[in-house]
Amino acid sequence: MNPEGVEHTPNDTTEDEQGAVVMKAIRQRQSAKGPYYQDRQVSAEAMNQIIGAARWAPTPHNMQNFEIIVIDDRDTLNKIGELKSPLTEDYVRENLQQMSFSEEELLQKKVGLLGVNLPQTLRDPARIDEAVHGEGRGLGDMIKNGPTLLLVLYDTRKRAPASAGDFLGILGLGCVMENMWLAASALGVGVQILSVFIGGDVEKKVKEILKVPDYMAIAFGARLGYPMPRPQKYLRVRRDPEQIVHHNLY
C-alpha cells in the first residue's frame, strides 16, 4: 500500500498505449449542450466514479476545497428551472467577441464558438440593449431534459496559503471540474458546465432552495445525463502547437 492509500497492480499495457487512452479521453471530452434523455438516470455506479474522480483532483495544499450537491429530484430541478437569469451588457458584448458566424470563420480563428444557432439578439451588436433588457434566460431552458444537476461549492472562509483572491484555490476547483468531466466522458455520460449559478440573484435563490449556508459559494454547475443524438456535427477547433508553444524565450 503506498502513502496515498492506493494499491498499484501490474499493468500489461505499454506507456504508449496508456498515453493513447488518456489522449483519447481528453480529445473526446466536449460540452453536451443539447437535450438529454430525461427518463435515463445516470447510474449510481457511474456517479460514484465521477465523484471519485473529483475526490482525487489535485488541490493546493491538499485543501480539498469543495463539496458537491447531486440534484436528481424532479421537483427540485423544476424549482431551479423556474428561475430567470438576466443578461448583462458585459456578457453580451464579450460573448459576441468570442463568436464566429460561419464554419469557415471558426476554422480560420481556431478559437471561440460557432454562433449561428444563437438567438438573433445575441448575434447582432445593434440589438444588445434588447438582449440585456429582456426577461432573461430561464434556467429551465438550460437544464431541460437533464436528469441530474451537480453543483460544486467551496467555503469562502478558507483560502490557499498566501494566495491573493484564492487564485490557487480556484485552480484546484478547475482540476475538480476537469477530472469529473473526463471521467463522465469515458463513461458515456454527457456534461455541460453551467456558469449561470455563479454570483448574483440566481446563486442566492438556488442556495435558498437547496438550504446552502451563506459562507458556501457556488463554483460552477454541471448538467449530467445521456445526450440525444445531435442533428448535425459539432465543429471543434484548437490552435496549432506552434501558435501556443515558446522555447526558452517568449
Whole-number Å distance between alpha carbons of 196 and 82: 14
Grid coordinates belonging to 167: 487564485
Tell me if 3 is assigned to some domain: no
Write down the number of H helices and E strands in the chain. Answer: 10, 8
Q: Are residues 193 and 102 in the same domain?
A: no
Residue 194 lies in a domain: yes
pLDDT, position 3: 46
Determine the structural domain holding residue 129 and report its residue range: 87-135
How far apart are alpha carbons 155 and 100 in whole angstroms? 37
**95 and 144 fall within a common domain:** no
Give me the pLDDT at residue 1, please.
Answer: 39
Q: Global pTM?
A: 0.88
pLDDT of residue 88: 87
Tell me, yes or no, whether 92 and 46 share the same domain: no
Note the pLDDT of residue 179: 97
Cα 135 to Cα 223: distance, rounded to the nearest angstrom: 23
Query: Is residue 47, in this structure, part of any structural domain at all?
Result: yes
225 in the same domain as 167 = yes
Same domain for 91 and 179? no
How many other CB atoms sit within 10 Å of the CB of residue 151? 23
Q: How many domains does the chain have?
A: 2
CA distance 124 to 237: 23
- Pair (141, 190) in one structural domain: yes
Residues of the chain with pLDDT under 50: 1-3
Same domain, 40 and 162: yes
Same domain assignment for residues 61 and 141? yes
User: Are residues 35 and 102 part of one domain?
Assistant: no
- Beta-carbon-side half-sphere exposure of residue 236 (alpha carbons within 13 Å): 8
